[in-house]
């Protein structure tokens, strides 16, 4: 493998040869306080990078010693369950002004395994929602993955499909990044594709590592196009921590996503986060600069459809209690750890969400 080469291991011919597109979509319909609320149902969808949600067990196959009781963070059960409780509080509040049950579909990043999700969905703040889990272990060296949570009273999953992203470093060592998780399914007889992402980081420099994020965007673009052409899935949602801003090449040119809402071509996407970014808003901060790496991006059909489910609004969930209260990092997301010590925070990212509306039938 040549240096800098990206291998996605996606066999697109499988998409063409499938007798049926057995993927899953995690969406949910609610009523909400909107104008004309008696005429529409509402779907709230969210994404949250929960920052290193590990269990306390030292796994021999991954580099997770940092998050164990004997590791440098002294990451024990008390810290673990406190973090779960705090994350559940955040999720319990997202989008409830539009839907009393909050996110129907919740994409998460930086979770170690299915076990931490099983503990998470049982937290008192969200337990009554009955979230179920769609997860796949990726080959990431730290053992972190993405996943989808959904409420089964509104959605029955059919299948999921992970797409590995493999890169090599300067020593020609193969490195597995986080898998891209693609799901497809039906809501109110509408087919929708959903992609959950945590693209390769900028470690080593944003310019030098851009090739890897561009490749992740290209994978999404190719899969969505294939689903559209071969399976008739025209409505799609891409969510995740992209480690790029809405104006970067990976998003603008490879994923074909921008801020335009009119006259979108079928293969173009709408990114509601770009307007937030241009106003100086962000979801994570570093060296006194805000980035908006956490995004939810929509296919053109979710704007153009006059009769079915379509985009209503987007938001960043960043109440004051999730922010650093003082010091040089005042206003930043309040992290779980800061300067090597337990800070009792939530995550180094703020979650994002969108609201879709659908006519009642």
d(CA 70, CA 182): 36
Q: Is 227 helix (H, G, I), strand (E, B) or coil?
A: helix
Comparing 303 with 18, the larger pLDDT belongs to: 303
**Closest Cα to residue 187, out of 30, 10, 348?**
30
Comparing 207 with 166, the larger pLDDT belongs to: 207
Q: In what order do the strands lie in the sheet with 166-168?
A: 6-7, 166-168, 174-176
Q: Of all residues in the chain, what percent carry a pLDDT higher than 70?
A: 87
**Helical H segments across the chain, by residue range:** 12-17, 77-93, 114-120, 206-231, 249, 273-278, 301-304
pTM above 0.75, yes or no: yes
The average confidence (pLDDT) of the chain is: 86
**Closest Cα to residue 254, out of 315, 297, 205?**
297
d(CA 158, CA 22): 6
Check: CB of residue 278 under 8 Å from CB of residue 316.
Answer: no
Q: What is the pLDDT of residue 167?
A: 72
DSSP-assigned letter for residue 29: -
Mean pLDDT of 286-309: 93
Check: CB of residue 251 under 8 Å from CB of residue 245.
Answer: yes
Span 75-125, pLDDT tens digits: 999 999 999 999 999 999 999 999 888 999 999 999 999 999 999 999 999
DSSP-assigned letter for residue 252: I
Q: Is 282 helix (H, G, I), strand (E, B) or coil?
A: coil
Q: What is the pLDDT of residue 5?
A: 41
Q: What is the pLDDT of residue 31?
A: 32
């Amino acid at each position: 493998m040549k240096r800098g080469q990206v291998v996605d291991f996606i066999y697109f011919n499988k998409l063409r040869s499938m007798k049926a597109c057995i993927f899953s979509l995690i969406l949910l319909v609610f009523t909400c306080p909107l104008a004309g609320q008696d005429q529409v149902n509402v779907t709230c969808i969210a994404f949250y990078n929960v920052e290193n949600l590990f269990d306390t067990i030292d796994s021999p196959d991954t580099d997770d010693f940092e998050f164990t009781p004997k590791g440098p963070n002294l990451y024990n059960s008390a810290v673990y369950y406190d973090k779960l409780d705090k994350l559940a509080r955040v999720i319990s509040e997202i989008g409830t002004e539009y839907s009393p049950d909050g996110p129907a579909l919740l994409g998460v990043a930086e979770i170690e395994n299915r076990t931490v999700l099983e503990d998470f969905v049982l937290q008192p703040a969200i337990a009554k929602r009955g979230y179920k889990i769609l997860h796949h272990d990726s080959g990431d060296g730290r053992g972190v993955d993405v996943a989808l949570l959904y409420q089964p009273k509104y959605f029955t999953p059919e299948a999921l499909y992970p797409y590995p992203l493999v890169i090599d470093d300067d020593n020609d060592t193969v490195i597995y990044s986080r898998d891209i998780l693609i799901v497809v399914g039906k809501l109110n007889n509408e087919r929708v594709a959903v992609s959950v992402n945590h693209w390769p980081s900028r470690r080593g420099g944003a310019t030098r590592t851009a090739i890897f994020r561009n490749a992740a965007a290209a994978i999404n673009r190719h899969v969505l196009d294939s689903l559209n052409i071969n399976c008739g899935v025209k409505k799609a949602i891409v969510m995740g921590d992209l480690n790029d801003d809405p104006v970067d090449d990976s998003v603008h040119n490879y994923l074909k996503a921008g801020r335009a809402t009119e006259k979108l071509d079928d293969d173009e996407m709408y990114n509601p986060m770009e307007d937030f970014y241009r106003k100086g808003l962000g979801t994570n901060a570093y060296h006194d600069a805000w980035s908006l790496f956490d995004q939810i991006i929509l296919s053109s059909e979710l704007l153009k459809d006059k009769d079915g489910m379509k985009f209503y609004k987007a938001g960043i969930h960043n109440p004051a209690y999730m922010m650093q209260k003082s010091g040089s990092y005042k206003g930043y997301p309040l992290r779980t750890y800061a300067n090597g010590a337990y800070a009792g925070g939530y995550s180094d990212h703020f979650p994002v969400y969108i609201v879709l509306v659908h006519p009642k039938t």
